[in-house]
Amino acid sequence: MKPKSEITAEDFARLPDDSLVPTKLAALILNTSRWTLERSAVLRRIRLSERCSGYRAGDIRALVRGEKVNAA
């Protein structure tokens, strides 16, 4: 099993659109910092617990394609 830090573009491409991606990975894919991603209103952050949140893979893909993403 690969460590979580070694996810590839192929692994991300196989995820369903409703999969939740950790903030660290989402920031890496979007080429931004975690701080910027968490404080911007570009993507809707989904809280799983007090210390854990993520972003939908489909929303990240849409943002990369240049489509408007509903952040609400």
Read out DSSP for 2-58?
--GGG--HHHHHHS-TT-EEEHHHHHHHHTS-HHHHHHSSSS--EESSSS-EEEEHH
**If you average pLDDT over every residue of the chain, what do you get?**
84
Span 49-71, pLDDT tens digits: 898 888 999 999 999 998 888 77
The reply to whether the predicted model has a pTM over 0.75 is yes
The domain locations on the chain are 9-65
What values do phi and psi take at 29, rounded to 5? -65, -40
The residues pairing with 20 across neighbouring beta strands, listed in sequence order, are: 56
At residue 72, does pLDDT exceed 70? no
